[in-house]
Structure 1
Amino acid sequence: MIGVVNRVLIGLVGLVLLVVGGSVLAVGLGVRPPAWWIHGGRHDVLLSTAERTRWRETGWWWPTVIAALAVLVLLALWWLTAVLRRRRLAEVLVDTGDGEGALLRGRALEGVLAADAEAMEGVERAHVRLTGRRHAPATRVRLLLEPHVDPGTALYELTDGALARARDSAELASLPAEVRLLGVKHRAERVS
């Protein structure tokens, strides 16, 4: 869903920039603009002296303009960091022995790992996220354990079971894991 929204926003911004930039270029090359256009001709400036000094007497105008531009810059920087930061690994490169390899969907591997971890005795819920690079993935696993489960045993079963099977099935040299174990809090029933 985020990828679709991101593509639509990038497409709209690109279209607006293309239309505005192309029209400014066309006016600069000598095309006569329509009467409603912001530039009157080739030698016109973006803001005339009268437009720049029009709101000088009102104390709220320029701080408002600067604040709005600052908000736009901050939103653009937030968007850029959201686009550049990958939250999870999209695919894992599996060595098939033919020199080319195959791609395994990251979400599929996460789902299998989570299901395998949840099948362990005493695990109420498991959350798995792949990180790292395509050829060297790593995992972040969060297990919600029931109160009677020994954390050391659960960690051993996860490492020796689910993570080992995932590593072997994807033919990875290693699959480092950061595991966080959380305990379920149950309220004791009052006996009268």
Structure 2
Amino acid sequence: MLRGVNRVVIGVVGLVLVCAGALVLAPGAGLSVPSWWPYDGPSDVLLSAADRTRWRGEGWWWPTVIAVLAVTVVLALWWLLAQLRRSRLTEVLVDSGDGEGALLRARSLEGVLAKETESLEGVSHAHITLTGRRSTPQARVSLQLEPYASPGQALTSLTDEALAHARDSAGLEVLPAEVRLASGKHGARRVT
């Protein structure tokens, strides 16, 4: 979801910046512009002295400007922190019995879990992503089911077999999972 929001936000900001740049640069470059264009030529200013000082005497002006700028800064910082936060887990802490533990690459566990899930009856494709903390990972599972598969049976097999094996092999008490199911498409049968 974050990737989609990023694309929309970056696209909208880019479009606004390109339009604003074209609006200002066209007359500044001496290009002929239509009569409805807000700026006439290279000597025209973006904001006149009257426009710049119009609201200064109003009591609401400066609190509004400061509030808008503060909200903009907070949203920009939130967006930056959302970019830096990793949603995918890089390693899982495995209890090795010596009190220190061992680190297992999360991609390795994801790969093994995906292969075992794909070997289950009715599952054609599986995509696993581990999220959370390294001591308490969580799994995001996307399953592509065969057209004939029963979703309930596939979900039961996933939790009882593949997720249970991964939980036991990593020495985890629990391995919560969010599972998304999609049904496979099948072609029309030919009658001869």
Unaligned runs of 5+ in 2: 1-42, 49-72
* Counterpart residue number, 2:64: none
Equivalent-residue separation in structure 2 for 1:176 and 1:75 (angstroms): 32
* Counterpart residue number, 2:136: 136
| SS of alignment partner, residue 99 of structure 1 | coil
Equivalent-residue separation in structure 2 for 1:120 and 1:77 (angstroms): 41
Equivalent-residue separation in structure 1 for 2:167 and 2:47 (angstroms): 62
Per-residue deviation, 1:89:
0.9
Equivalent-residue separation in structure 2 for 1:112 and 1:82 (angstroms): 28
Equivalent-residue separation in structure 2 for 1:184 and 1:178 (angstroms): 19
* Counterpart residue number, 1:122: 122
* Counterpart residue number, 1:26: none
Q: How does 1:90-109 map to 2 (within 5 A)?
A: 90-109=90-109
* Counterpart residue number, 1:82: 83
Is 1:182 the counterpart of 2:182 in the alignment?
A: yes
Between the two proteins, the alignment pairs up a number of residues equal to 130
* Counterpart residue number, 1:59: 46
Task: Decide whether the 8 Å contact of 2:91 with 2:103 is kept in 1.
Answer: yes
Task: Decide whether the 8 Å contact of 2:87 with 2:132 is kept in 1.
Answer: no
Aligned-residue RMSD, C-alpha:
3.0
Equivalent-residue separation in structure 2 for 1:81 and 1:178 (angstroms): 21
Equivalent-residue separation in structure 2 for 1:77 and 1:155 (angstroms): 36
Task: Decide whether the 8 Å contact of 2:91 with 2:106 is kept in 1.
Answer: yes
TM-score by length of 2: 0.59
* Counterpart residue number, 2:146: 146
Task: Decide whether the 8 Å contact of 2:94 with 2:104 is kept in 1.
Answer: yes
* Counterpart residue number, 1:172: 172
Per-residue deviation, 1:145:
0.3
Per-residue deviation, 1:185:
1.9
Unaligned runs of 5+ in 1: 1-55, 62-72
Equivalent-residue separation in structure 2 for 1:176 and 1:76 (angstroms): 31
TM-score by length of 1: 0.59
Aligned residue type for 1:110: E
Per-residue deviation, 1:101:
0.5
Deviations 1:126-174 (A, max 9, x none): 0111111111111111110011111111111111111011011101111
* Counterpart residue number, 2:39: none
| SS of alignment partner, residue 186 of structure 1 | coil
| SS of alignment partner, residue 97 of structure 2 | coil
